[in-house]
Amino acid sequence: MKAHTKETQATMTPQKSLDYLKEGNGRFQNNLKANRNLLEQVNDTSDGQFPFATILSCIDSRVSAELVFDQGLGDIFSIRIAGNFVNPDILGSMEFGCKLAGTKLVVVLGHTACGAIKGACDDAKLGNLTGMLAKIKPAVEAIVEPKDASQRNSKNMEFVDNVSAKNVLLTIENIRKDSPVLAEMESNGEIKIVGAMYDINTGEVVFYE
């Protein structure tokens, strides 16, 4: 499989880009990697890059977007931060990826058993981590069940995963609210903004459409 060129990128639509990621995750789950020569892709992308998707994911070592979607060099912009939330710098990176570099899809990718989500559920305090986890707290507060405080912590994995899912949805809301550039592109049909959840037990990505 060759690296994307300006010409192949131009053929990508938001839906086609989403389908590519779904197909890639299917290959990943079945251990059927696309046939790529990565060194050849290094050479092919040396004069430019033409990715089709921008993916925001967690820093978790088990959730590399390139691997779980079976993509090669030059295929996706990968933005990673613990808890996969947005801030002005990340929004600026997304705007660059879509408006200037031509990607057709923005994916906010959460995952099960997320350590950052667990930390927010437990109200963890540690240096700069304290302020970072505060950005995830709205997702914790948005999950109203269980009401019993003893069940609203990292020991309750159902609660943790529900918070993870809500965090993805709130992040998408924040992208649309805080980036007029991306909101306009989505409104015009130039891009899609979608959420997804990666299951660390199975390798499956479920998209929220």
80-98 per-position pLDDT tens digit: 999 999 999 999 999 999 9
**Residue 75's domain spans which residues?**
6-208
Q: Is 111 annotated as a binding residue?
A: yes
pLDDT category of residue 43 using cuts at 50, 70 and 90: confident
Per the model's pLDDT, the better-predicted residue between 176 and 5 turns out to be: 176
Per-chain mean pLDDT for the chain = 96
pLDDT category of residue 30 using cuts at 50, 70 and 90: very high
Neighbours of 99 (CB within 10 A): 16
Alpha helices in 3-78 (DSSP H): 6-11, 14-29, 38-44, 65-68
User: pLDDT at position 44, please?
Assistant: 84
Question: What CATH number corresponds to the domain at position 137?
Answer: 3.40.1050.10
User: pLDDT at position 174, please?
Assistant: 98
Amino acid at 195: G
Residues 6 or more apart whose Cβ sits within 8 Å of residue 20: 12, 52, 53
Number of domains in the chain: 1
Whole-prediction pTM? 0.96
Q: Is 114 annotated as a binding residue?
A: yes
Residue 118 lies in a domain: yes
128-150 per-position pLDDT tens digit: 999 999 999 999 999 999 999 99
Residue 156 lies in a domain: yes
> What is the C-alpha to C-alpha distance for residues 44 and 23, in angstroms, rounded to an integer?
23
Question: In sequence order, what E strands does 72-189 have?
Answer: 76-80, 105-111
User: pLDDT at position 6, please?
Assistant: 87
- Find, among 154, 152, 131, 150, the residue nearest to 141 by Cα: 152
- Find, among 7, 66, 79, the residue nearest to 38 by Cα: 66
Residue 29 lies in a domain: yes
Residue 1 lies in a domain: no
Q: Is 60 annotated as a binding residue?
A: yes
User: pLDDT at position 37, please?
Assistant: 86
